[in-house]
Chains A and B, each alone.
Chain A
Amino acid sequence: MSKHGRREANRLIRQQQLQEAKRKRSIRISAIAAGVLMLVSVGAYVVYTNTADTTHNVPQQANAAGTGIVAGSGPIKVEVYQDYLCPSCRAFHAAAEERLQAMVRENKITLTTYPIAILDRLSTNRYSTRSAAAAGCAADSGKFAQFSDALYDKQPAEGGAGYTDEELVNVGRSAGLGDPFASCVRDGTYSGWPGFATEESSRRGVTGTPTVFVNDKKVVPGQGQTITDAVFNAIAGS
């Protein structure tokens, strides 16, 4: 081999070695990046599950699962998942609540209402959670339905500030609730409860509000049908 040829061969080998080193480094960087991504995401999940509320108070009138407020003891089970900030819940409440309460009095249905909080992002002061917690306080004073009426009557708009705790106390007073209710709201007695009820609702497949179950079957309105009509159809068919 000529001197020139040998030099050329050495140059090629060096070039190949250089390229191989580059390739290895790029693989190593990718492996490290992948490892960091994996560690960070698993870490985030561990932190998330460990910071979740594990203890919370449950209103006295709640169902056995500690997730909703029960009224009546009729044979047909009607369960309503609602968020006090949700306009569709307000519409459903306005259209259906009176008839549902009448059915409770006639002992036709057992009505369980789940105040969940899926719209906290749509108020600047976590109104969904706080109003649901206050509803738990109202339940302790035996005025859950009256307080719900009052809340929907004065529903704040999405996107702004919902009522403060003090304003919720005043809404309660207008619904006939007294000092035990006021201190329950101010002390945040049930502030951890809506989060728990919401998580349990997710487990059950509730992905929006209002969601209604009649005898454990989720009511799905047909094309052009209102949820109110669908619910009363389902009750009539039970």
Chain B
Amino acid sequence: MRTWQPWLSTGARAVLAAAFLIAGAIKVTDLDASARAVNAYQLLPWELARFVGVVQPVLEIGVGLLLLAGLATRLAAALAAGAMTVFIVGIASAWARGLTIDCGCFSRGGALPVGQNPNYAWDIARDAALLALAIYLIVFPASRYSLDRRMA
């Protein structure tokens, strides 16, 4: 194993943890809005959209904490990769259907006011970059400054 790999994994953990913790913290304070943000994608019936909207920020914070601590890193990275895949598919589908919504990625989302245009390409590019980091972590979960390493 090359010596810089654990450091790269630590970096990937830090970036992903920051993204998940920030995204979750913004949404968790207004779960009603988070539910509406999921509903705005018009992919799920309201009851299910509400469930996802409430659970998602909690899970985001949980995964963020695991990544920050470097605990169960491979599992956390797999969950992060799964989430990013779902987000990319959701945004692409909103784009394809011509919806003008805030993706609700780092905000509470919802429909955009008339005349304001979404930037789906940027949202997808950012999520793809985060997905790449998560996949790297699945392959190389061993990292510096991690509880996994301390407990091994």
Contacts and interface: CB of A to CB of B under 8 A. Distances in A.
Contacts of A26: 72, 74, 148, 152
A102 interface: no
B133 interface: no
B72 A207 contact: no
Interface string B38-66: 01101000100111001100110011001
Interface in B55-83: 55, 58-59, 62-63, 66, 71-72, 74-76, 79
B108 interface: yes
Contacts of A25: 151-152
Contacts of B13: none
Interface string A195-216: 1001100110101110000000
Interface in B118-152: 148, 151-152
Interface stretch (A33-41, A55-63, A106-114, A179-187): A33-41
Contact of A202 (B35, B74, B79, B112): B35
A33 B110 contact: no
A183 to B, nearest CB: 28
Interface string A155-166: 000000000000
A88 B114 contact: yes
Contacts of A36: 62
A188 interface: no
Interface string A30-54: 1011101100111011001000000
A203 B55 contact: no
B51 A45 contact: yes
Contacts of A33: 66, 71-72, 75-76
A193 B87 CA distance: 33
Interface string A58-98: 00000000000000000000000000001110010000000
A41 B62 contact: yes
B30 A202 contact: no
A37 B33 contact: no
Contacts of B62: 36-37, 40-41
A139 interface: no
B74 A30 contact: yes
Interface in A198-238: 198-199, 202-203, 205, 207-209, 226-227
A64 B125 CA distance: 47
B1 to A, nearest CB: 15
A207 B40 contact: yes
Nearest to A33: B72
A33 B112 CA distance: 37
Nearest to A47: B54
Given A25-B151, A26-B72, A202-B46, 15 more contacts: A22-B152, A25-B152, A26-B148, A29-B148, A33-B76, A37-B79, A41-B59, A44-B58, A121-B33, A121-B108, A199-B32, A202-B39, A207-B39, A208-B112, A227-B114
Interface of B: 30-33, 35-36, 39-40, 42, 46, 49-51, 54-55, 58-59, 62-63, 66, 71-72, 74-76, 79, 101, 108, 110-114, 148, 151-152
The 9 closest A-B pairs by CB, nearest first: A208-B111, A33-B72, A207-B40, A30-B75, A41-B55, A203-B46, A30-B72, A44-B58, A37-B62
Interface of A: 22, 25-26, 29-30, 32-34, 36-37, 40-42, 44-45, 48, 86-88, 91, 118, 120-121, 195, 198-199, 202-203, 205, 207-209, 226-227
